Amino acid sequence: MFTPLPSYLHKIKSTNVRNLFVLLKNAFKIWRQRTTSRRVMTKYDSRTLADVGIAQNLAEFETAQPFWKPPSVLGRDALPEQELGEGQHSVEAVLIPLSNYETVHTKKGRPLLVRPMTLTDKGYVVDLFNHSSAESRYNRFFRPVRYLSEKELERETSIDRDLHLGWIGFIQEADQLRCVGVVHIARDNLECDQWEFSVSVQDSDHSCGIGAALLSHAAHEGQKMGIDTFYGHVLEKNKPMLAYVKHRGATLKRDYPGIYRFQLPTGAMM
């Protein structure tokens, strides 16, 4: 039997045509996200499923569900399905129980919910990129980037634990989670002991300490793996990041015109 439309579509009677269009657009966006997330989940092995706290039998049940059905409830701490209003650009949170999130705080005490990245986070990564300024994109990729290619998106979200790890941060607003940033650490190969980091934060949340909190979390996780130093590159024009690494005692060396290479002890980031 066909499941009714999401509950918020029943508000149609009291809305005008413009709001009706917004509601339908958000409904199709949610349905598309569900389909994509379930398709990606079919590629997960048992190790990856365990990392994100999803039982094998639940994953098999979930991937068999039609697009109009919301994600299965994973106990009382499961994330609520998001209902999007006009002007919002969050994407649906899928199948990640809150027990998999760790709470970290900015220096001003603002709580962030942080968890390991998975392939189902592609929507969040695209959303974060689409709402970044040209300057923020240039500081992240060191070149003008108008859109993320499928290859780049795959690289951003493919976490293999041996060469690339990533974490994604959220702020809880009412009964929804809003993605505010991501942080990555990566190395070239298994013999390489030089891990580099990168961090991206929503433009609207710059200067709030979110980037520093995400980097502190990455440093803490890195220390668990025996990493005592992170390496990286920063543009000379990227004043906030340059100030961040200098303040924490990084060793800086001009690597290319307008680009510094630095070494930063993980202990100084925590």
Per-residue pLDDT tens digits of the chain, which is 270 residues long: 444 545 544 554 554 667 777 778 877 877 887 787 777 777 777 776 766 666 677 677 777 888 777 765 443 233 333 333 333 333 344 456 667 789 999 988 999 999 988 877 888 888 888 888 999 999 998 888 888 887 888 888 888 878 999 999 999 887 778 889 999 999 988 888 889 999 999 999 999 999 999 999 999 999 999 999 999 899 999 999 999 999 999 989 998 889 999 999 999 998
User: How many Å apart are CA 79 and CA 76, to the nearest integer?
Assistant: 9
- Got the DSSP string for 78-138? PPPPP---TT-------S--GGG-EEEE-TT--EEEEEE--GGGHHHHHHHHHTS-HHHHH
Which residue, 130, 18, 36, is CA-closest to 85?
18
Question: For residue 231, which of 256, 188, 195 has the smallest C-alpha distance?
Answer: 195
Q: Where are the domains of the chain?
A: 1-79, 101-269
Tell me which residue of 20, 175, 170, 171 sits closest to 82, measured CA to CA. 175
Give the SS3 label for residue 159: coil
pTM over the 0.75 mark:
no
What are the E-state strand segments in the chain?
102-105, 111-116, 164-173, 176-186, 195-201, 229-235, 251-256, 259-265
What 3-state class would DSSP assign to 173? strand
Checking phi first, is residue 209 left (phi over 0); if not, alpha (psi -120 to 50) or beta?
left
Q: Contact, 197 vs 208, CB < 8 A?
A: no
**Within 13 Å, how many C-alpha atoms sit on residue 6's CB side?**
22
Question: In CATH, what class is 101-269?
Answer: alpha beta
- Please write the tens of the pLDDT for every residue from 110-153: 999 999 888 778 888 888 888 889 999 999 988 888 888 878 88
DSSP single-letter state for residue 72: P
Asked whether 221 and 187 are in contact (CB, 8 A), the reply is no
